[in-house]
Structure 1
Amino acid sequence: MSTEIATYIGYAASIFIVLSFILKDLRKIRIVNFIGCFCFVIYGIFSGMLWPVIIPNGIICFVQVYHLLIAKKK
């Protein structure tokens, strides 16, 4: 993947993260935040394995999925 595409994915990730702070519905916040964090993971991978970007955003992705799928059933 080209560096330019990875940069656009990083910008998209930033937009999704900021948007998640604007929303009020918790489910929508989690979905939008998940998309942003997932984009940051992709950005980190295609920008040369940026572990400080990949690890925390990967963990946050799992937390969001947990709350969206598993914690909702309880």
Structure 2
Amino acid sequence: MDELLFTELVGYFASAMVLASFLMRNIKKLRLVNSVGCLAFIAYGVLLNWSIPIILTNLAIVCVNIYYLFIKKQ
């Protein structure tokens, strides 16, 4: 598979996961799906020759999701 095509597919998958997370009513499920999207965006940032803004932003969002999912029990 062409490297550029693979990179774009990772980006589309990440976008779809983040969008899907906003359609969910259950906050736990929202955070899990959003985390998958953010992890995919981190991979996308790496594939884009280490795009630091994409990587750092999505890493921060994953950390927030982990905090609310596993550390702060609601």
State the TM-score, normalizing by the size of structure 2: 0.91
CA shift at 1:5, angstroms?
1.3
Task: Give 3-state SS (helix, strand or coil) of 1:22's partner.
Answer: coil
What is the CA–CA distance in structure 1 between the aligned matches of 2:9 and 2:65, rounded to whole Å? 23
- Given the alignment of the two structures, is residue 11 of structure 1 paired with residue 12 of structure 2, yes or no? yes
1:1-74 equivalences in 2 (<5 Å):
2-72=3-73
Task: Give 3-state SS (helix, strand or coil) of 1:64's partner.
Answer: helix
What is the CA–CA distance in structure 1 between the aligned matches of 2:65 and 2:44, rounded to whole Å? 19
Q: Which of the two has greater helix per residue?
A: 1
CA shift at 1:2, angstroms?
2.1
Q: 5+ unaligned residues in a row in structure 2: which ranges?
A: none
Cα RMSD (Å): 1.5
CA shift at 1:59, angstroms?
0.5
AA matched with 1:41: I
CA shift at 1:62, angstroms?
0.9
What is the CA–CA distance in structure 2 between the aligned matches of 1:6 and 1:57, rounded to whole Å? 17
